Structure 1
């Protein structure tokens, strides 16, 4: 392990401990058996795996301008709790059975209740509940009220943009000609804002810095979109054991990724119809799945997606050089950029 890996591992351990403490306090304060059950399920769902990239980004944004302390560790779990909220609702919309190699939240509840409709109802409310938890974690982290208000306003705008991105995603399934420019907007609003840009800016705001925010936004936007393109590549070409979900899930959900958009644009009418059929099947066969992957490669869509991702990371790194923060923290962000490009899960 290099020094950056050791540092990331140490931060992840602190985040895990703070998450555990937060949920245990919630459980200690709850005297209703059913609500306690839901909070326990939320705890298990949140604690089950995850790279903790978002809280790490918030801590790193803070460390650019202030030494890491207990307050930022407490604040950082806010974005991880919000991640659980978004994933729970996302899995309901996508009808996903698995998340991080285990049953999705609504499916886990269903195994106990044997009642699909009420299991989804409980999952929706559980998502709302943990969204409230996320703001509580931030607002009780001990920071100066002025910096807290700035950070929580940014947090609210991040969740708003993520919701707008989700709407673009839903409508994309109805649009046969969904374009690359619309996809980039989708990736920015649904992924980059709450994965990279938002947490990074929130951390800087908690440190009281405002003059470097624009450069951090440019970095976060470009690296965040690259993160999603990498996710989509792993969703088609990754290893199920490492990604923790079915390698066919993106296709079965009909996701119009950059891989699919460019393959569609570069194909003749017969292949275009075939791609549309695959994306609308809901349960693609092994033979069709392999053929679809071959089309993505043969049309040059795979290499095109890699090039776009590399260009985005390059733009992000250029913006990072303009930030006047701690050099070690900037080096960590550069390392994280390379990690996003090369990760396997």
Structure 2
């Protein structure tokens, strides 16, 4: 099952996506800029967003390979955001390697992110679609980037906010993370020539699994380890991130435990022992378990949208894809 490991057919597809993705960067002539741009793509990855675009395209009756350029464009956008996020969060490692700015410098990281952003739109225009649909794909991409930036700003704003609600968090995640999954599903439906009803339902499916993905990512930051997760864990606490887990805990915690947790949240120079104690407070408060239940409920809701997919094999693939997002180890 895809929930445990991608079957061979998807491994082959991911390989094709990777090959296309790396070829798309060959156009860059400056070797230093190209190296910085390729730093994360070359490190590998699950390519979940482009893979989703191909699965959806096939599910509505199109060819999966037709969605690879658009999927690659989304992956390039995703990598652009990672480069800039790491600069903002001052993270030195990602996916088990040094971050772009730690390797090449902050100016180079900013430039490479800008270049990735621009290249994504060029790549999207290589999609196998007519002119009308190409315009739609570019619009999907542009809107996604705008919303993503709003979500990132909300995330930054939360760090200094005295009060953040669960609804605030969900809105931020919808903009920052879920938007690219929704875009992948919508773009795949456009390329596969699905009906309007299918497009809207699958875009909603993408939105919901994207929310589940991010909540599960927040869980992994607390329950995983750096070697497995591919980046430093407990960083959300150090960076003062108001995740759903933290928001829920702050609603439930009172007295000395609450004060102890708040004394560590956002403490950049916090010792490992302090971070682990803060995590234990979240665990004991039941906030992490609460988040996993929310993620599971979002995935269950997403599966309801799959009734627009008539082919049972394709519906099963999308169902298992959704399950994978909240069962993965990395």
Q: Which category of TM-score, normalised to the shorter sequence, fits these structures?
A: over 0.9
Q: What's the counterpart of residue 51 of structure 1? A: 46
Query: 1:309: which partner in 2?
Result: 295
User: Which of 239, 246, 255 lines up with 2:232 in the alignment?
Assistant: 246
Residues 260-281 of structure 1 deviation map (CA, whole Å, 9 limit, x = unaligned): 1111111113222222211121
In 2, Cα distance between the equivalents of 1:297 and 1:251? 13
Partner of 1:199: 184
| Alignment coverage as a number of residue pairs | 327
Q: CA deviation at 1:220?
A: 1.4
**CA, structure 1 residues 192+69, in 2 after alignment: closer, same or farther (shift >3 Å)?**
closer
Instruction: State the distance in 2 between where 1:61 and 1:152 align.
Output: 18
Would you identify which runs of 4 or more consecutive aligned residues in structure 1 move more than 6 Å?
none
Pairwise CA distance, 1:4 = 5.1
Aligned to 2:83: 88
- 1:86 Cα shift? 0.6
Tell me whether 1:72 sits opposite 2:74 in the alignment.
no
Partner of residue 34 from structure 2, selected from 31, 35, 39: 39
Where structure 1 has 5 or more consecutive residues not aligned to the other structure, the ranges are: 110-118
Q: Which residue of 2 aligns with 1:14?
A: 16
Residues in 1 aligned to 2:216 and 2:143: alpha-carbon distance in whole angstroms: 25
Q: Is the 8 A contact 1:99 1:244 kept in 2?
A: yes
Q: Which moved more, 1:222-231 or 1:242-251?
A: 242-251
Deviation at 1:13, TM superposition (A): 0.5
Q: 1:177 aligns with which of 163, 178, 184?
A: 163
Contact 1:251 1:284 in 2 (8 A): no
Please report the RMSD computed on the Cα atoms of aligned residues, expressed in angstroms. Answer: 1.7
Q: CA deviation at 1:45?
A: 2.2
The 8 Å contact of residues 260 and 296 in structure 1, kept in 2 or not, is answered as: yes
Match of 2:309 in 1: 324
When structure 1 is superposed on structure 2, of 251-260 and 226-235 the one drifting more is 251-260
Whether the 8 Å contact between 2:241 and 2:266 is mirrored in structure 1 is: no
Q: Deviations over 1:168-212 (max 9, x none)?
A: 101101112111110000111101111x21111011112222221
Residue in 2 aligned with 1:281? 267
TM-score by length of 2: 0.94
Structure 2 counterparts to residues 259-278 of structure 1, below 5 A: 259-278=245-264
Question: TM-score normalised to the size of structure 1?
Answer: 0.90
Secondary structure in structure 1 of the residue aligned to 2:265: helix
Q: CA deviation at 1:158?
A: 0.8
Do the aligned partners of 1:264 and 1:271 also contact (CA within 8 Å) in 2? no
Query: The residue matched to 1:173 in structure 2 has which SS?
Result: helix
- Structure 2: how far apart are the matches of 1:247 and 1:21? 32
Does residue 216 (structure 1) correspond to residue 218 (structure 2)? The answer is no
Q: Quote how far apart the aligned CAs of 1:43 are.
A: 1.6
The residue that corresponds to 2:328 in the other structure is 343
Distance 1:97 1:342 in 2: 26
Query: Which of 153, 158, 161 matches 1:167?
Result: 153
Q: Does 1:292 align with 2:307?
A: no
> What SS class does the counterpart of residue 232 from structure 2 fall into?
coil
Picking from 95, 98, 103, the partner of 2:98 is: 103
2:110 corresponds in structure 1 to 124
State how 1:135-154 maps to structure 2 within 5 Å: 135-154=121-140
Task: Give CA deviations for 1:116-139 in whole Å, capped at 9, x if unaligned.
Answer: xxx212211211111111111110
Structure 2 Cα separation of the partners of residues 318 and 99 of structure 1: 34
